[in-house]
Structure 1
């Protein structure tokens, strides 16, 4: 299969890289530090200032994420990058502090509550469809459009009924922080302690402070006002308590988790939808098949949660987009005690990574891994569990996974049922990972009525 028959991908490195070459590559695109051999081996190890391992073997990954999870907490690099913005929220916290927060937040993401939020997703899908149709035959950056649509969703399910909170202000602050602080610092690679200032984070500190102040104000205002007729995410989190200890989140904990959900709740879904639309424009046969399914299920309507069971192929497109372009392309952990993975010694302090991008393209696990084939997921039970990790796995699997999938299927089905999408020659996106795997240059597509 020639390169022209494959969707865009990142050529992985074939030679060892020194520390400064690794730093330059990581600041430009974290995927560029992944060795090509990681797509052909179960585990790769090396040293760049400190010992590291990349693990692609499903059984070893199962040990890290499930059987021996306490030995592999989030890496110092991950915590240093994100803690200034989202504090000790679910994404960062460890041990007992993580467990009680997870128990308290879990009811907010129950199947019933996620389904109850679907009308907000359907409304955003309709608004997006209207904007795309209004562009006529002009090219639209679908990444920007999907960010707008998914931020509408997360804004409305998080802060409904006229909150004083301004989602656009938080969106700008988040983007400023990711841009300034998300590019890996040499201090992080060298393992400098957290109290050593990072220039990017010092620069972005004011934006983060303003963002937290806005969120604190919104939380306190909601405490005073009480829940609305249909509880939104903030209402559900305010009501949530640890069933074991009866502890509830205080304002700071609510704020940090809300900011985490806002970032994860729109960024990852926007990326999934952007890449899915690119892939459908890349393969018109797949797009036609998806459109036929969507039109039969929807009969001219906007998609709702009730339609999900009738849209299995569109769900498979979402799954395959998450395989080829996982929003979190690398999971990084720091070993706490000696262990053995794939018969190889892991020492305390070693960085142990699961390079999701390489795992999802590993030739030991997938046939023609760089090809776009949604039918891989026609039978999800046949997919090896720890070979496919778009949302992680084990106790720390993404709490919002079902929310994200529901939203992605509703939006994608709505758009494909009404519009036919085409690539713009010479404007292919480039997969670039800083904190998430974004399409550098945007996803520029033209469309016409279906």
Structure 2
């Protein structure tokens, strides 16, 4: 189902509506248990996490995560590498916007944010010394992250591209010397992982890190800029704290990671329902983020709500997940969104044109088809 060429947004709306009509999880047509309430989500992710298989969206080979020790070490190194790149003063934003636009300052939705973040994080993905690897990263971002995980109209292409990119990563990783110092980029992180990992394994880990670094953050940036333009935040008078609230509200209404999936490890009960070992549980962050009892006017775009939040709202906010499998770089993703969102909305006038009104949901929840046009305030 998740490889359907069409957007899954209509399904999300149905699940969201059904979650609002019941106080417990329910099974979808294809058997997966759907959770649309924060209490049950917390039980799965935190309180009773031992009932579910250990997993990681970042550090795994196929469905099998690396050991907890390796994941912890890799997460620490990822944070260390990203911390060196926080708010890079050398990033040429205007030139990057021209490169990802169409020559008339139009930024095509479902594409431009990923391409911009690819450039923003270029020094920490594969430093300039990795010329061939950088070319493979670009091919993967274009054909798979954009073509499959976001747009989804070109299903055949990514299925051929991903194996070729992995093979290329493995070949070039094998030519690099062993890491002798602290890591400077994602390539160093995967090269330095201990254990019996083949070059193909390390290539797959690099690919997953590129998806998490570029894909999720890039789509979120598109939402921040689109909503910022629509709601009057693109003005020289905008403040960093205004954009900080805008980022959080954009991730509430349109969480890029619209679902968190867990697999039951043992038979158990969840909110009064029987869950069998091997069964998939889908946590709908979009439904939890729009729950009426928790969020006042849940479908309204109200960034000011983040000036003062309740405990229930804080527990219901899951844009990066919770628990062991939570995104290890969530803090730096927020910093990048706040930094770039602020610079773009402060320095550029904007207008938005949508070809469709509904968001586009596949692996990632992206803005509707269309474009945003930016012109400098200067």
Which of structures 1 and 2 has the bigger CA Rg?
Answer: 1
Match of 2:71 in 1: 102
Contact 1:340 1:346 in 2 (8 A): yes
Secondary structure in structure 2 of the residue aligned to 1:292: coil
Offset at 1:55?
Answer: 1.3
The Cα of 1:30 is off from its aligned counterpart by: 2.4
SS at match of 1:340: strand
Stretches (4+) displaced over 4 A? 23-27, 119-122, 129-136, 177-183, 224-228, 247-250, 380-383
- CA distance in 2 between counterparts of 1:24 and 1:210 reads 23
Matches of 1:217 and 1:170 in 2, distance apart? 14
- TM-score (norm: length of structure 1): 0.71
Deviations 1:53-98 (A, max 9, x none): 22122222111011222323389xxx9xx9xxx9934x8434xx34
Q: Which has the higher helix share?
A: 1
> Secondary structure at 1:123's aligned position in 2?
coil
What does residue 26 of structure 2 align with? 45
**1:155 and 2:122 equivalent?**
yes
Counterpart mapping for 1:119-134 below 5 A: 120=88, 123=91, 125-129=93-97
Give the structure 1 partner of residue 172 of structure 2: 218
Q: Distance in 1 between matches of 2:73 and 2:196?
A: 7
* Structure 1 residue 260: Cα displacement: 0.8
- Residue in 2 aligned with 1:432? 360
Mapped to 2, the partners of 1:28 and 1:168 lie a distance apart of: 29
2:248 aligned to which of 298, 319, 324: 319
Q: Which runs of 5+ in 2 are unaligned?
A: none
The answer (yes or no) to whether the contact 1:274–1:443 under 8 Å persists in 2 is no
Q: Aligned partners of 2:138 and 2:301: how far apart in 1?
A: 32
Q: Structure 1 stretches of 5 or more lacking a match?
A: 1-22, 184-199, 242-246, 295-310
Indicate yes or no: 2:113 matched with 1:146: yes
- Separation in structure 2 between the aligned mates of residue 122 and residue 429 of structure 1, nearest angstrom: 36
Distance 1:57 1:133 in 2: 39
SS of residue matched to 2:319: coil
Structure 2 counterparts to residues 10-21 of structure 1, below 5 A: none
**Rounded Cα–Cα distance in structure 1 between residues aligned with 2:202 and 2:2:** 36
Match of 1:116 among 84, 87, 90: 84
Q: How does 1:62-211 map to 2 (within 5 A)?
A: 62-73=42-53, 88-89=60-61, 92-94=63-65, 97-110=66-79, 113-118=81-86, 120=88, 123=91, 125-129=93-97, 135=103, 139-141=106-108, 143-173=110-140, 175-177=142-144, 204-211=158-165
Task: Answer yes or no: is the 8 Å Cα contact 1:41–1:56 preserved in 2.
Answer: no
In structure 2, the CA distance between the partners of 1:248 and 1:69, relative to structure 1 (3 Å rule), is: same
1:187 aligned partner: none
CA gap of 1:24–1:377, structure 2 versus 1, over 3 A, is closer
Q: What is the root-mean-square deviation of aligned Cα atoms in Å?
A: 3.5
Contact between 1:109 and 1:403, CA under 8 Å: does it hold in 2?
A: no
Q: Alignment partner of 1:420: what SS?
A: strand
Quote how far apart the aligned CAs of 1:26 are.
5.1
